C-alpha cells in the first residue's frame, strides 16, 4: 500500500473513533469494554490494512472488525453483563443538559438494547445509531438485506414492548422469564 494512502486511512480512522466507540458501547454495555474493543479493532485494522479494499467504506470495514471481535469475546466468555450507568452524552451524541425524562428514557433504551439478542442489537446499532443503509448494514453483518430487515423489525418490536412495559416475547421469539403469556393472574 502506498504511504500516502496509508496515511489517509490512518487519518480517517481517527475521525471514526467517536462512531466506533458508540457502536462498541451499544454492543458491550460497558465503557471500559467498548474502549478495549475499539483499541483491539484499531490494532487489527492497522496490522491488516492490506485487507481493506480501496473504494469500499472504511467505516463498514471497522464495524465488521468490531463485530467479529465482540462475537469472539462472547463465545469465549459466554457471559453478558448488564449495562452500566453511562453518561447519556456518550450514548446519545451531543445532548446538552438532558431533562430528567430524557435521561430516564435513555437509560430505559440502553437497558432495552442490552436485553435484545446480539444479532438484533447489532442490526439496530448499525442502522439506527450509526445510520448505515440496510444494504451496508447487511454487508457488515454478512446477511441478505431481507434477513437484516426481519431482524430490525423484531428488534424494534421487542424494544417497543420493553419500553412500553409490555412483557412478552424476547426479540428472538422466546418468552421472557416469568411471563406465562397471559395478562390475567391465576392461582
How confident is the prediction along the chain (187 residues), in pLDDT tens digits per residue? 678 888 888 899 999 999 999 999 988 888 999 999 999 999 999 999 888 888 888 999 999 999 999 888 877 776 444 445 555 555 555 444 456 667 777 788 888 888 889 889 989 988 988 888 999 889 888 899 999 999 999 999 998 888 888 765 554 455 444 444 444 433 3
| Cβ 98 vs Cβ 88: under 8 Å | yes
- CA–CA dist 162, 185 (Å, integer): 20
CA-CA-CA-CA dihedral for 87, 88, 94, 96, to nearest 10: -90
- The model carries a pTM of 0.58
| Cβ 106 vs Cβ 91: under 8 Å | yes
- CA–CA dist 53, 146 (Å, integer): 25
Domains of the chain listed by start with CATH number: 1-78 (1.10.1740.10), 99-175 (1.10.10.10)
Is the four-CA dihedral 163, 168, 169, 175 of positive or negative sign?
A: positive
Amino acid at each position: 500500500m502506498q504511504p500516502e494512502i496509508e496515511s489517509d486511512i490512518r487519518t480517517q480512522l481517527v475521525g471514526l473513533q467517536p462512531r466506533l466507540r458508540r457502536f462498541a458501547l451499544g454492543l458491550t454495555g460497558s465503557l471500559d469494554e467498548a474502549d478495549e474493543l475499539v483499541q483491539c479493532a484499531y490494532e487489527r485494522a492497522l496490522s491488516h490494512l492490506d485487507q481493506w479494499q480501496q473504494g469500499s467504506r472504511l467505516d463498514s470495514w471497522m464495524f465488521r472488525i468490531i463485530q467479529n471481535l465482540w462475537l469472539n469475546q462472547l463465545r469465549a466468555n459466554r457471559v453478558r453483563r448488564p449495562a452500566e450507568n453511562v453518561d447519556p452524552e456518550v450514548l446519545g451524541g451531543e445532548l446538552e443538559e438532558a431533562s430528567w425524562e430524557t435521561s430516564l428514557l435513555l437509560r430505559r433504551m440502553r437497558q432495552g438494547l442490552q436485553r435484545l439478542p446480539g444479532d438484533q442489537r447489532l442490526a439496530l446499532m448499525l442502522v439506527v445509531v450509526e445510520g448505515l443503509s440496510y444494504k451496508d448494514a447487511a454487508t457488515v453483518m454478512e446477511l441478505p438485506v431481507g434477513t437484516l430487515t426481519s431482524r430490525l423489525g423484531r428488534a424494534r418490536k421487542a424494544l417497543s414492548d420493553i419500553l412500553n412495559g409490555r412483557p412478552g416475547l424476547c426479540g428472538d421469539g422466546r418468552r421472557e422469564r416469568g411471563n406465562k403469556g397471559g395478562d390475567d393472574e391465576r392461582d
